[in-house]
Amino acid sequence: MNALEVTSVAYNTIILDKSDHIARLTLNRPERLNALNEEMFAELNHALEDVAGDTNIRVFIITGAGRAFCASADIKDESRGGDQLLGHKEPYETYQFIRAMPQGVTSKLHNMEIPTIAMVNGLAIGDGFDWVLACDIRVGCENSRFMNAFLQMGLVSNTGSTWLYNRAMGISKALELLYTGDWLEADEAKECGVLAHLVSADKLEETTMDLACKIAGKAPIPNRMVKGMMYRGLTQTLDDHLAEAAQVEVLTLTSQDHKESLASFREKRAPVYKGE
């Protein structure tokens, strides 16, 4: 894999770094457990659009600074004078804000064409839990804890819980968490499929980065196509899916990366993929 210059985009509430075909987004309000305010919502949506449009990026990682991944909405945000995040808005204005901002993040994470990894360093609550599940692969540690939290506020999740939970852990466990608002601890999260990997906290970054580098070193076109096919396959018949798989295979057989795979095998060297 060719090394790329490390780049960083300036934001106030998040950090976006890009290096070696990997983009890493860090929620960066550790003093507030990375709770969400309007500025962070806007910056997250902007950063995700930036990554989605960057053809050099092959893998995306999202994590949090400090001891939390994301503690959901900051209802005591001092920049709003202590008002609740949406308390000042009219109903239709609230609807528009939800669609554009919190749901915008969910959609952009789920619909990103490249592989995505959630590196769950700590608490993932409400929106944060949903955004973990919107990623393709989740890596956690003993500090990872998950909760829906909307129930405690007398609310229904707006960021996809009722669509994401059952796909990750099955409908029974999903509804239990939604009905009760109980915590999902790291061990059980691994057992029920929320986490693909559960490692010690001191190995979390190393494990995540090793996985990201491994994926980024593969031919990027098939990875993008496999991701799309996997999610579309959830609603396709087998015959329809096989027909799509045949079309995709024809396309990849003509790619330069496939030719590079054959050449590197014959020449007994590591392949160098360009996404062509």
Q: What is the pLDDT of residue 1?
A: 41
pLDDT score of 3 more than 50 = no
What tokens does 226 get?
A: 């496999």
Domain boundaries, the chain: 7-216, 220-267
User: In the chain, pLDDT over 90 holds for what percent of residues?
Assistant: 86
Q: Which amino acid is at 38?
A: E
Q: Which residue has the tokens 């798989």?
A: 245
For the cut 80, the answer to whether the pLDDT of residue 254 exceeds it is yes
Q: Is pLDDT of 75 > 90?
A: no
Q: What does the pLDDT read at residue 88? A: 61
**Residue (of 90, 11, 59, 103) closest to 213 by Cα position:** 59
108-151 pLDDT, tens digit each:
999 999 999 999 999 999 999 999 999 999 999 999 999 998 88
- How far CA 258 is from CA of 57, 114, 138, 226, 250, in Å, comes to 19, 18, 29, 15, 11
Q: At 78, is the pLDDT very low, low, confident or very high (cuts 50, 70, 90)?
A: low
Place of tokens 């989605």: 52
pTM to 2 decimals?
0.92
Domain 7-216: CATH superfamily, name plus number: 2-enoyl-CoA Hydratase; Chain A, domain 1 (3.90.226.10)
Average pLDDT rounded to a whole number, residues 49-77: 94
